[in-house]
Structure 1
């Protein structure tokens, strides 16, 4: 069952992940380029104002929080699955009951070098998952959320100032400029600065996501190559 059923399924699964991450890499690279160009354009003339912008920021915060939690859960679940699989495979190794005095002690790690290829597949897969730059991406997501929260706090503070100003003037502003500020909640300079901050932070997230995708593609390609090499070596060993 291990070599005839489980191994082919795991090989198919890793190949599916390789195809997935190649597609994800193309997608995330396009996203990174798009946001980078938007950041350098620095055009805020059409930016939503007031309540509309606050609602957008709340929705963005919720989506990014969900993405961050889902990403962390996915990586941890993946690592836990492979760790459990490797532990189960260790139970398949039968240690010799007797050994010569001149022989080295039995080592499961030495067995993995010439044993069934499923051992190499799972070992390399587990090590590859742990080596992915997941922490860097998670840190970028947290920093992005922090920037969003900071901006939302600023918006709330500006809204409170606007409300106090309206109350102090009995609902009327003293000048046309004051009316524009109270209506929009921000000056044009504030809007431009805030958008630049958010765009820069989002660009860093997409950069880390792009690099994570690149690392994932390389990892699964390495797993495939080493698994194929182990399979060929094992077949030659059985033929002798």
Structure 2
């Protein structure tokens, strides 16, 4: 994402403030200063074949999931926790822009490191009512960053005609009960390998449910990409 001459000029006259330390950023089009960007917490998954499910702390919290691979930028901790909440529930779009930039950069790094690319990308759906309340589907916006980085189609594979109750504070079984019958697969012909995108994975119930729908239609590999994973203790 190269900054245009106009964006560079605007940056020189009125540079952004870093979304974490509030100091001036060094580069146009960025939301973090170089120091904060370099000190972001991150999960190095290159040593486990780019699959967080092979990490003991992840496997403990996500037993017997139906998706095959999991990739995440970080554990669900600060500053990601603050930015995700600000974007999702307070419509602070600067935080969303930052998270999308980080997702895009990580997708490029993953490709450079030889990660297995899917045939297409999809995302967790939200109901029309939820979309009207929030104004956007954060999972769809994140999925579009992967599609742009990898030059792979991003498809709307699911629909949610009924409002899914908020899942915050519910355990895995309660979340699965909430989802039954409320999300439907709307594509008949599906490729071999699909990446599903969501912002945070907690119990894995939603992505597990979507994966089961895809596997029932013959999809061989379901990978999940997310910003952050809630750590099991």
Report the TM-score, using the length of structure 2 for normalisation.
Answer: 0.22
More helix as a share of residues? 1
Which has more radius of gyration? 1
More strand as a share of residues? 2
Considering Cα pairs closer than 8 Å and 6+ residues apart, tell me whether 1 or 2 has the greater RCO. 1
